[in-house]
Amino acid sequence: MEKKDKKKGWFSRLKEGLHKTNDWFSTLFNKDGINDAFYEELEEAMILADMGMDTAERLLDGLRDKVKEQKLTERADAKNALALLIADAVRTDKPFMVDEGPAVLLIVGVNGVGKTTTIGKIANEYALSGRKPLIAAADTFRAAAAEQLGEWANRAGVPMVRHQEGADPAAVVFDAIASYRAKACDLLLVDTAGRLHNKKNLMNELNKIRRVIARELPDVPCEVLLVLDATTGQNAVAQAEAFLEVCELTGVILTKLDGTAKGGVTVQISDTLKVPIRFIGVGEGIDDLRRFDADDFAAALLETDE
Ligand SMILES: Nc1nc2c(ncn2[C@@H]2O[C@H](COP(=O)(O)OP(=O)(O)OP(=O)(O)O)[C@@H](O)[C@H]2O)c(=O)[nH]1
Ligand SMILES: [Mg+2]
């Protein structure tokens, strides 16, 4: 019961965040008749919702087929059909290695997207579920980064390894791995400095971190998750494309879906880049992170019933 309430709370929070998008779709789906005008307006609403032209068109083609196949005449039925198509577009069947056993989770992204906050939330969630996380403060670049992360580590009751500001991030990770072994931890969470994909030295630094992990923990799978701020819309898509070119991403975390985000960018990232979305951030608090669930997300976006 409590779990259900919690899920509801989160679901309505996501819906609140997406209310602008919901409103467009609601207005559209409450009118009568499935005709050309409907498809045109729907395409416009999808693009306004940040789904991007290609994804919007792909989904519309799919919807046209479903409407024909199932002989749908009501917009309410078309809405449910679209929700299924959206859910399929954002679903993944790749297992999330962090849930499968000991793992490393490397968090990357540009400045200010929510990397450090998300590490704190993830550390808390896994500690509560009985895992033994350890945090590596590999953002040695920004002043006070380690202090900020240290506060999250305290809140989550999780140990953290840090060095002085300006130290080599790969050396922090090296020491964190020693500590991870000594303390018999089973989840290493690595926070990194905000970086632009076109800053070569920062990208090299990331690769150096990857090499240290691969060398020191060869049998432990490493997930590399890119954090994207959903309120930045198409810019988030561009960031994801750029990071995919220079490092091996295994997934994405979308933050700030409680804010002014229109949410459709989630569909576009998953559909066009084929990287699984693993978590979404719906607030600044330690509990405001949730597993990404394809069906819940599609329902929240279109405001269909769960
Ligand atoms: N509303 C909202 N705010 C968030 C969310 N996630 C993070 N934030 C806020 O975003 C701001 C930046 O978060 P950080 O975690 O410091 O971001 P970062 O990527 O580590 O930033 P740098 O280390 O400077 O690159 C903070 O004010 C967070 O509270 C979210 O899901 N929702
Ligand atoms: Mg940070």
Cβ atoms of 248 and 5 within 8 Å: the answer is: no
pLDDT value at residue 195: 80
Q: How far apart, in whole angstroms, are the C-alpha atoms of residue 163 and residue 138?
A: 8
Q: Is the pLDDT of residue 87 over 70?
A: yes
pLDDT greater at residue 28 or residue 9: 28
Summarised one tens digit per residue, pLDDT across range 135-185 is: 999 999 887 999 999 999 999 999 999 999 999 999 999 999 999 999 999
C-alpha 137 – ligand 2 centre gap (Å): 9
Q: Is the dihedral of CA 240, 244, 246, 249 positive or negative?
A: positive
Q: pTM, whole model, 2 decimals?
A: 0.92
Among the listed residues 253, 201, 205, the one whose alpha carbon sits nearest the alpha carbon of residue 228: 253
Gap from CA of 256 to ligand 1 centroid (Å): 8
User: Which class would CATH give 2-90?
Assistant: mainly alpha
The tens digit of pLDDT for each residue in 22-44 reads 777 888 888 889 999 999 999 99
Q: Where in the chain is the domain with CATH 1.20.120.140?
A: 2-90
The residue with tokens 């994804």 is 55
- pLDDT at res. 8: 53
Task: Say if CB 273 and CB 60 are below 8 A apart.
Answer: no
Residues carrying CATH 3.40.50.300, the chain: 97-294
Looking at 121-161, which runs of residues are DSSP E strands?
Answer: 133-138, 160-161
Higher local confidence (pLDDT), 200 or 124: 124
What atom in ligand 1 is closest to the CA of residue 109? 19
In the reported structure, the alpha carbon of residue 229 is separated from the centroid of ligand 1 by a whole-number distance in angstroms of 9
211-259: pLDDT as tens digits: 999 999 999 999 999 999 999 989 999 999 989 988 889 999 999 998 7
pLDDT at 203: 82
Indicate the top mutation candidate among 107, 117, 118 to test ligand 1's pocket, ranked by most ligand atoms within 8 A of CB.
Answer: 117
> Is CATH 3.40.50.300 the right assignment for the domain spanning 97-294?
yes
Q: What is the pLDDT of residue 3?
A: 47
* Average of per-residue pLDDT values in the chain: 91
Q: Residue 272 corresponds to which tokens in the numbers above?
A: 């066009």
